[in-house]
Amino acid sequence: MKLKAFIGGTLAALATAVSIGSAQAQDSKIDEIRERGTLRMAGILSEDPYFAKDPRTGEWRGFAVSMARDIAETLGVELEVVESSWSNSILDVQSGKVDLALALTALPKRAMAISFSDPTYYNSFVIISPNEALADKGWAELNDPAYTIAVDLGSAQDNIARQYLPNANVLRFKSRDEAVIAVTTGKADAMINTVLNSVVMSKKNPALGTVYVPEPTLSSPSVIGLNYDTDETWKAFISAWADYNRRVGNNQTWIVESLAPFDVTLDDLPEGFDIGG
């Protein structure tokens, strides 16, 4: 009886293990996406050159969209863009509303909420100012109450201001547009942003001034955000995609193509900035 009970228990345990293994296999993120037929990405409105949606056609453009579209094609599915915002995109990844979020700055605080891929490219934090006297100022020199710097509250650039400019007069606004107005109206001497955003903003609004890269150059990896609970195969695939396309130059090509409508070329990018890191 004891032997029969042992055999019965062993068979039950094996059946459970097989069942769990089958469930895990079925839970593969890649299989889920292929079964659905779409890859869902978080898209942010009016964020050239990253994302933008044509109000007439509903079509999305931008280099983050181009990157996601290539991932979708690699998986053999269509791309579905889900409207979001920079802050909500983290929540959308956490909740499973989207499969990934691109063009995220790899802030340590965000790493407690979502998983990061390998870098897709490198961005730099810069200042935009109509004041040419700031052209050669480093972060240490800007860290002075004589300078008024505008940032959008809670952003990566706000974190940079807190870390590098604790002594400067920092104005924090609810939106980036308010920070732009502060500079163009003379309320602030400069604003902090990432270089790719900045070159487009300065082209759209010349009154904003010129993009400068203060020393030391603060090069920040841009990553793809993924849900922590997804399987390791999915995470490894996305990191392999990011690393490969960064190294062979595809990501740079998509970035340059997204800058072209604003008459921005690689030659227009400020000295000291390198997309490859």
Question: Where residue 61 sits, what CATH number does that domain have?
Answer: 3.40.190.10
Q: How far apart are CA 116 and CA 107, in angstroms?
A: 10
Residues 139 and 150 in one domain: yes
Does residue 55 surpass a pLDDT of 60? Answer: yes
Mean pLDDT (the chain, rounded): 89
Q: What is the pLDDT of residue 8?
A: 47
What is the pLDDT averaged over residues 50-70? Answer: 95
- Inside any domain, residue 6: no
- Inside any domain, residue 257: yes
Contacting residues for 217 by C-beta, under 8 A, at least 6 apart: 124, 272, 273
Does residue 6 surpass a pLDDT of 70? Answer: no
- Inside any domain, residue 275: no
Residues 150 and 206 in one domain: yes
- Inside any domain, residue 56: yes
Does residue 216 surpass a pLDDT of 80? Answer: yes
Residues 105 and 240 in one domain: yes
Q: What is the pLDDT of residue 7?
A: 44
Q: What is the pLDDT of residue 251?
A: 94
Residues 249 and 173 in one domain: no
- Inside any domain, residue 18: no
Residues 38 and 119 in one domain: yes
Q: What is the pLDDT of residue 156?
A: 86
Residues 82 and 195 in one domain: no
* 202 φ/ψ angles, rounded to the nearest 5 degrees: -70, -30
- Inside any domain, residue 139: yes
Residues 159 and 41 in one domain: no
More confident of the two residues 64 and 107: 64
Global pTM exceeds 0.85: no
Residues 206 and 130 in one domain: yes
Tokens linked to 85: 């915002």
Q: Are strands 148-152 and 169-173 parallel, antiparallel or unpaired?
A: parallel
Q: Are strands 190-194 and 148-152 parallel, antiparallel or unpaired?
A: parallel
3-state SS record for 33-66: HHHHCEEEEEEECCECCCEEECCCCCCEECHHHH
- Inside any domain, residue 261: yes
Q: What percent of the chain has pLDDT over 70?
A: 90
Domain ranges, residue 68 = 29-123+220-268
Does residue 12 surpass a pLDDT of 50? Answer: no
14: pLDDT confidence band, cut at 50, 70 and 90?
very low
Does residue 114 surpass a pLDDT of 80? Answer: yes
Q: What is the pLDDT of residue 1?
A: 47
Residues 115 and 138 in one domain: no
Give the pLDDT confidence of 219-257 residue by residue, as tens digits.
889 999 999 999 999 999 999 999 999 999 999 999 999
Residues 39 and 97 in one domain: yes
86: pLDDT confidence band, cut at 50, 70 and 90?
confident
Q: What is the pLDDT of residue 271?
A: 75
* 70 φ/ψ angles, rounded to the nearest 5 degrees: -70, -40
277: pLDDT confidence band, cut at 50, 70 and 90?
low
- Inside any domain, residue 225: yes
Residues 54 and 79 in one domain: yes
Cβ atoms of 211 and 272 closer than 8 Å = no
Q: Are strands 218-226 and 38-44 parallel, antiparallel or unpaired?
A: unpaired
**Count of structural domains within the chain:** 2
Residues 249 and 201 in one domain: no
